[in-house]
Amino acid sequence: MSLTIAALIGSITIFVLAIYLGFELISKVPATLHTPLMSGANAISGITVVGALLASNVAFNSGSPGIAAWLGFTALVLATINCVGGFMVTNRMLEMIAGKRRKKEVS
């Protein structure tokens, strides 16, 4: 798990590019979509679930699952709630806004 300087620079480059991209992605959003967009983005920030998986596994693998392991497990549960709940609640909101509209367009 040792870091090389090249890898660090690569990560920082990716960080900067993704920030630029984030700024560009969203330009004009109608008020109706503010909350769904916020909640969808929030669900995506639950990607930390990947970190939680790694952290709890590393901690449990290390033999003596102390406080670190259980912190990792808590993180896992919270992150999963964030993702799953977030995507579902976003979906519910969108069903009502966009779902109806789509139906109208078809008919």
Partner 1 sequence: MVDPIIFDIGYLLSAALFITGIKKLGSPRTAPYGNQLGSAGMLLAVITTLVKMQVGNGIIGWELLVGGLVLGSVIGAWLAVKVEMTGMPELVALFNGFGGAASALVALSEVLARIKTGEVPTDMLNLWAIWIAIGLSGLVGWITLTGSLVAMFKLKGGFTIPLTKKWVRFPTWGPPWLNFVKVGLLIASFAFVVMTVREPENALWVWALVGSSCLLGVLFVLPIGGADMPVVVSLLNSLSGVAAAFTGFVINNNVLIIAGSMVGAAGLVLTFIMCKAMNRQLIDVLFKSFGGSDKETVTRTKVGSDPEEVAMMCDGISTCIIIPGYGMAVSQCQHAVKEFADLMEERDVEVKYAIHPVAGRMPGHMNVLLAEANVPYEQLIEMDEINSEFAECDLAVVIGANDTTNPAARSGEGPLGGMPILDVDKARSIVIIKRSLSVGYAGVDNDLFFMDKTMMLFGDGKAMMSALNTAIKEY
Instruction: Rule CB under 8 A: say whether 106 interacts with partner 1.
Output: no
Residues 68-87 contacting partner 1, CB under 8 A: 68-69, 71-87
Report, in Å, the least distance between residue 22 CB and its own copies.
10
CB-based contact 53:76 (threshold 8 Å): yes
> Any idea what DSSP says for residue 83?
I
Say which entry of its own copies, partner 1, none residue 8 contacts (CB below 5 to 8 A, set by partner kind): partner 1
Distance CA 81, CA 42 (A): 11
CB-based contact 78:21 (threshold 8 Å): no
Say which entry of partner 1, its own copies, none residue 95 contacts (CB below 5 to 8 A, set by partner kind): partner 1
Instruction: Rule CB under 8 A: say whether 107 interacts with partner 1.
Output: no
CA dihedral sign of residues 10, 13, 15, 18: negative
Instruction: Rule CB under 8 A: say whether 57 interacts with partner 1.
Output: yes
